[in-house]
């Protein structure tokens, strides 16, 4: 089946630094990927839609200059949290639409970010 | 704005019992998804429901969709401990159905 990976699985950084999270579709091409954020015991909130070769579409309330998204290839999207602060600590999950424009979104294993 | 509500938020049930999780959404959506999440893990796709009256079953789980009532249900039959997890429903946004709005999740605990 379709597999999506994320790297790193967890990261701890100091306040003010930037962190890059990678999302890869391992065995299929994904023109569209999504980035979500999940706080403990809460649901997933869509942050942005990442489209290969074009600018990401951000949800209302998500700062595009803080959460930089790059989808440079059909198998890789990156999320960079710039100048991270403790309130950015969260579980970040990416997903990709399945092969051949399928309806199912396949989720990565998530990246747990802790900002000290 | 599309809103998705799940209930109950927490559910403890005995092994062997049946129960239903409900998912209501506020505006028209032509696709409804159910996912499972284990603690500390990401989401596993369970069902994709694309039309009114759609019913899908996998093992002890059965999902249905009523687009007129804007309601989807996830029915659990003869629960077993392995089904303990958090279950999320998600609806596709109007006009951009592949962008999902998630419900708050139902934390299911199956007791021996």
Interface test with A, best of B10, B40, B45, B95 (most A CBs within 10 A): B45
Look at B88 and A44 and tell me if their CB atoms are within 8 Å.
yes
Look at A109 and B42 and tell me if their CB atoms are within 8 Å.
yes
- The pLDDT value given to residue B44: 92
Write out pLDDT tens, residues B42-69. 899 999 998 888 999 999 999 999 999 9
Closest approach of B69 to chain A, Cα-based (Å): 22
- d(CA B73, CA B101) in angstroms, rounded, equals 16
Residues of chain B contacting residue A44, judged by C-beta atoms under 8 Å apart? 43, 88, 90, 100, 102
Look at B42 and A108 and tell me if their CB atoms are within 8 Å.
yes
Write out pLDDT tens, residues A46-65. 999 998 888 899 999 999 99
- The pLDDT value given to residue A41: 82
Strands A90-97 and A67-73: unpaired
- d(CA B52, CA B71) in angstroms, rounded, equals 10
In whole angstroms, how far apart are CA A5 and each of A47, A67, A94, B9, B110? 18, 19, 9, 29, 30
């Amino acid at each position: 089946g379709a597999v999506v990976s994320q790297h790193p699985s967890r990261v701890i950084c100091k306040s003010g630094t930037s962190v890059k999270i990678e999302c890869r579709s391992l065995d299929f091409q994904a023109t569209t990927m999504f980035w979500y954020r999940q706080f403990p015991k809460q649901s997933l909130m869509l942050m942005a839609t990442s489209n290969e070769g074009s600018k990401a579409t951000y949800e209302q309330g998500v700062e595009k200059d803080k959460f930089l998204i790059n989808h440079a290839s059909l198998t890789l999207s990156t999320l960079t949290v710039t100048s991270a602060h403790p309130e950015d600590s969260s579980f970040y999950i990416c997903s990709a639409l399945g092969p051949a424009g399928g309806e199912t979104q396949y989720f990565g294993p998530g990246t747990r970010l802790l900002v000290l | 704005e599309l809103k998705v509500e799940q209930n109950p938020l927490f559910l403890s049930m005995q092994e062997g019992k049946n129960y239903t999780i409900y998912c209501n959404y506020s505006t028209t959506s032509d696709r409804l998804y159910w996912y499972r999440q284990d603690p500390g893990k990401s989401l596993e796709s369970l069902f994709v429901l694309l039309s009114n009256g759609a019913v899908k079953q996998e093992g002890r789980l059965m999902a249905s969709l009523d687009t007129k009532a804007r309601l989807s249900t996830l029915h659990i039959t003869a629960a077993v401990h392995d089904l303990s997890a958090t279950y999320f429903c998600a609806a596709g946004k109007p006009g951009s159905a592949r962008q999902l709005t998630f419900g708050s999740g139902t934390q299911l605990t199956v007791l021996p």
